[in-house]
Amino acid sequence: MPATISLSQFLATLQFSDPTAVLYFDRATGRIVEANRPKIPDSERESACFQPLPIFTEQDEIELARQFSAAAEKSEDRQRLNLALSSANPQEAFQTALFRCQIANEWFQFRDKHLLRLAKNWLDAQGVAYIDDVARQAD
C-alpha cells in the first residue's frame, strides 16, 4: 500500500524545486526523491515504486498567465498583461505588469488553485493517498 503524503509538501515541491531536476515519488516511503539523490537504479525508475512527478514548465506557466490575462476584469489590465506576455522576457514582464496593475495577489491565488488541482489530479490518478492540509495552512 502506498504511503500517504502531505498535499502542502507535495505542492511546495512542485512550486519551488529546481525546474531542471527529475523528481520521483517513492510510493513505498511517501518521499519525493531526485533521480540521482539517492541513486535510483534505471530499472527501478519506471517501476511501480517510483513515479515521475508532473513537471510544471515555463511554457505551462506562460499558458496559465495567458488564461489569467484573458479573465482579467479591467480591459486596461488585460491589455497590459497581454503586452507583457508578448515581450522578449514574458515571465519577468508579466510579473512586473501584475504589480503595476495591482492584481498580483489575484494572480497568485489563481496560480495556487491551478497547481492544487494539478497536484490532486496527479495524486488521484496515481492512487496516492494524501492529507489535504492546504486549507489548514491558509487559515
* Pairing between β-strand 5-6 and β-strand 23-26 as defined by DSSP bridges: unpaired
The pLDDT, as a whole number, for residue 81 is 97
Whole-prediction pTM = 0.79
Q: What is the mean pLDDT of each run of 10 residues along the chain (139 residues)?
A: 82 84 85 69 59 86 96 96 96 96 96 94 91 68
Torsion of CA 88, 90, 94, 100, to 10 degrees: -10
pLDDT of residue 56: 82
Task: Report the alpha-carbon distance of residue 133 to residue 108 in Å, rounded.
Answer: 18
Strands 31-34 and 5-6: unpaired
pLDDT of 86: 97
Buried b (16+ CB within 10 A) or exposed e, 85-107: beeeebeebbeebbeebebeebb
Tell me the domain boundaries of the chain.
5-56+127-138, 58-110
How far apart are the C-alpha atoms of 48 and 126, rounded to whole Å? 10
